[in-house]
Amino acid sequence: MADHAFSPWKVETRTRASSAFGLVALAVVIAAAAAPLFVSRSVIQDLFFILTMLVLAQCWNLLAGYAGLVSVGQQAFVGFGAYTMFAVVILAGLDPIVGILLAGITASVLAIPVAFFAFRLQGAYFAIGTWVIAEVVRLLLAQWKALGGGTGTSLPSGATREMFGVGLVSDWLGVRPSQAADIVCYWLALVLACATIGFIYKLLRSKQGLGLAAVRDNREAARSVGVDPGWMKSVVYLAAALVTGIAGALIYVQKARISPDAAFSLTDWTAYVIFIVVIGGIGTIEGPIVGVIVFFILLNLLADYGSWYLLVLGLIGIIVMLFAPRGLWGLFADRTGIQLFPVRRILTGASSTTKGVPHG
């Protein structure tokens, strides 16, 4: 009886669209995992690019869209992760996979002093401060002669071909080792992208995630519901650094050649990422997914026009920010009410039980 009095009211975050989407998403992931069996090497490389940019975009979105940390210095972690992997392979002679895992650790270790410093700064100062720190890390690593100094270096030939799992894939699919290495990288990127989205989704649905929204919207309110905004921001910042570092290392396993200017490029690892998030829709998990697809299509449409590509991208970014500040996904969600990754809590069961005793 007591059950009946209380159970009709349920707090849910699931919506009908999201349940259906769950099945579709599962099918997409399975298809993506099986893609190397059907598509060409260049398509795999394109998909790898899309997935790694998606991971970077999700991380930046977590910082700027949810925690209010507008960083212009995420290239610090991409480059640091990539250099960690190179050091592990070239100096210690270990497998690149080990380097990728270590990159996550070193990037989050780097994030500790960076956060200690940058969190003393507010708003615009934070943005500029993170950028300067990324420059400092770039200039310091350019001094590391063993890794090529300012001009950079390449992975030893064979390092990726002898990477863990490559031989197996090569035999299994009957492809050359260099192609098998691309496939392994691609699968790792797929796992990383799914894990990142899963982690962020879980984080946002948790009590801590609710606190994070409170932190973004109102510092004082967050304190009053028992969330320590400083602590929450630190955790998010470190998590984003970890994932960004892993992504950076993975990107450079595939590139196999590194230089400080490329690995710490503001344009490649922060400007592009910001446009992906803004065009897709900041503050949603769907946004970066939409954004990366639009970004990739634009990239291919405008690839032959040199600097016009970036010019158009910049203009689109400005227009979206001014006229659709919640991005393409925001426009779509406003019209349809569809949420694929619902994090808002919905009270259900009320309409069917109105004849019961209302609880105030």
Partner 1 sequence: MNWLDTIVQGVLLGGLYALFAAGLSLVFGIMRLVNLAHGDLIVLAAFLVLLLVTTLGLSPFVAAVIAMPVMFALGWVLQFGLLNRTLGNDILPPLLVTFGLSIVIQNALLEGFSADSRRISAGGLETASLQLGPISVGTMPLLTFLSAVAVIVGLNLLFYRTALGRAFRATSDDRETAGLMGIQPNRVFATATGLAMVVVTIAALYLGMRANFDPTMGPARLIYAFEAVIIGGLGSFWGTLAGGVIIGVAQTVGASINPEWQILAGHIAFLLVLLIWPRGLFPRAVD
What are the structure tokens assigned to 217, written together?
Answer: 């919207």
Could you tell me what percentage of the chain is helix, strand and coil, using 3-state DSSP and rounding each to the nearest 5? 75, 5, 25
* 198, 230, 314, 356: which one binds partner 1 (CB under 8 A): 314
Q: In sequence order, what are the beta bridge partners of 346?
A: 12
* Diameter over CA atoms, the chain: 77
Binding mask 325-354 for partner 1 (x = CB under 8 A): x-----------------------------
Task: Kindly state the tokens that stand for 152.
Answer: 């950079």
**Contact flags string 249-278 toward partner 1, x per CB under 8 A:** -----------------xx---x--xx--x
Which residues inside 125-154 make contact with partner 1, applying CB under 8 A? 125, 127-129, 131-133, 135-136, 139-140, 142-143, 150
Q: Mask 88-127, x = binds partner 1 (CB under 8 A)?
A: -----------------------------x--xx-xxx-x
Q: How far is the CB of 181 from partner 1 (least distance, A)?
A: 33
Tell me the pairing of strands 257-258 and 153-154.
Answer: antiparallel
| 244/269 Cα distance (integer angstroms) | 10
**Cα gap 329→285, rounded to integer Å:** 10
Q: CB 289 → partner 1: shortest distance, Å?
A: 19
Q: Does 282 bind partner 1 (CB under 8 A)?
A: yes
Among residues 2, 37, 322, 357, the one that binds partner 1 under rule CB under 8 A: 322
76, 264 contact by CB (below 8 A): yes
How far CA 68 is from CA of 49, 192, 230, 317, 331, in Å, comes to 27, 24, 12, 19, 21
| Whether the Cβ atoms of residue 244 and residue 59 lie closer than 8 Å to each other | yes
Q: Does 213 bind partner 1 (CB under 8 A)?
A: no
Would you count residue 202 as binding partner 1 (CB under 8 A)?
A: no
AA letter at 181:
A
- Residue ranges in contact with partner 1 by CB under 8 A: 64, 70, 72, 117, 120-121, 123-125, 127-129, 131-133, 135-136, 139-140, 142-143, 150, 266-267, 271, 274-275, 278, 282, 306-311, 313-315, 317-318, 321-322, 325
